[in-house]
Amino acid sequence: MPLTQDDAKTIGAVFLKAFWKDNPIFRQVLGICSTLAVTNLLSNTIAMCVGLTFVVVMSSATVSALRNWTPRRIRMMVQTLIIAAYVIVVDLLLKAHLPAISKALGPYVGLIITNCIIMGRCEAFASNNNVKASLIDGMGSGLGYSLVLLSIAVVREFLGFGTILGTRVVGDSWVQWTIMVMPAGAFFMLGLFIWFARWAQTRSRTEQEEGSP
């Protein structure tokens, strides 16, 4: 079935909302745990982003598909079960086919289950919308998450190790800001990022309001 003009607008709107306007990290402040834990190395961050996006898309789709059957009372338990199942699948597939990445991510893969973003999207969107929309919403959330993580990771790895993706990009006399790769640095970076992102959002919103006749 070819996409109509309306379809395109809806897809775009849903995506944009999940990706930017309601960005899971700097707007909703969800999924913080992994944001802090893996962003000290860009390579691990990329793996985590891919893993999380996969799980949030698949989980949203599945929860949406089952939404008319699932009794209200056990809604959250069922969502958690579905998420856990997909995470285990990702974990097993990584261990079997990309063992180096699996070792690098280690305990964090299991913690994708409790990543509030996935649960948040399932609860807020997927349980009330059709499968197609849920897929897009999941995609938008996953990519919105990735945007924030990758931005933070680039800064943390660069300042903390002087490398990007493992390759040194600064001279030998560069003094590493080791605090950047420790928890404190993670918190600071995240705080600054949220501050900046929200400021950017407010500014563009005021401009839009002032600009419109």
Partner 1 sequence: MREGTFTILYMIAVTGVFTAAVSGVNGLTMERVELNRKFHERRHVLGALDLTEDPDLDPMEVKRLFQERVSETGWPGREKPLYVRLDADGRPEGYAFPIEGPGFWGPIHGFLGVAADPASEHAGEGDALELLGIAFVSHSETPGLGARIQNKEFTEQFEEMTLTPPKEEGARWIELQKEGAALGPNEVHAITGATRTSDAVETFLNGSFHEILKALRSLRAEETAREKEGD
Partner 2 sequence: MTEQALGPFVVFFAAVFTNNILLANYLGMCPYIAVSRQLKAAAGLGGAVIFVMTCTSALNYWVYYYLLVPFGLEYLRFIAFIVVIAAFVQLTEMIIDRVSPTLYNALGIFLPLITVNCAILGANLFMIIRQYAFFQSVAYGFGSGVGWTLAILALAGIREKLKNAPVPEALAGPAQAFIITGIMAMAFTAFTGMIPIE
User: Is residue 196 part of the contact set for partner 2 (CB under 8 A)?
Assistant: yes
Among 26, 160, 189, 193, binds partner 1 (CB under 8 A): 160
Burial label for 109, CB within 10 Å (0-12, 13-18, 19+), is buried
User: Is residue 178 part of the contact set for partner 2 (CB under 8 A)?
Assistant: no
Amino acid at 48: M
End-to-end CA distance of the chain: 38
How far from 88 is each of 83, 98, 108, CA to CA, in Å? 9, 15, 12
Among 8, 16, 92, 192, binds partner 1 (CB under 8 A): 92
User: Is residue 66 part of the contact set for partner 2 (CB under 8 A)?
Assistant: no
The smaller minimum CB distance to partner 1, of residues 82 and 152, is found at 82
Size of the site for partner 1 (CB under 8 A): 37
User: Is residue 141 part of the contact set for partner 2 (CB under 8 A)?
Assistant: no
User: Is residue 13 part of the contact set for partner 2 (CB under 8 A)?
Assistant: no
CB–CB of 152/41 below 8 Å? no
The smaller minimum CB distance to partner 2, of residues 12 and 99, is found at 99
Give the separation between CA 29 and CA 39, rounded to whole angstroms: 16
Give the separation between CA 131 and CA 65, rounded to whole angstroms: 6
CB–CB of 60/24 below 8 Å? no
Among 88, 169, 184, 192, binds partner 1 (CB under 8 A): 88
User: Which residues on neighbouring strands pair with residue 164, listed in sequence order?
Assistant: 167
Q: Which residues bind partner 2 (CB under 8 A)?
A: 26, 29-34, 36-37, 76-77, 80-81, 84-85, 87-88, 92, 107, 110-111, 113-116, 119, 179, 182-188, 190-192, 194-196, 198-199, 202
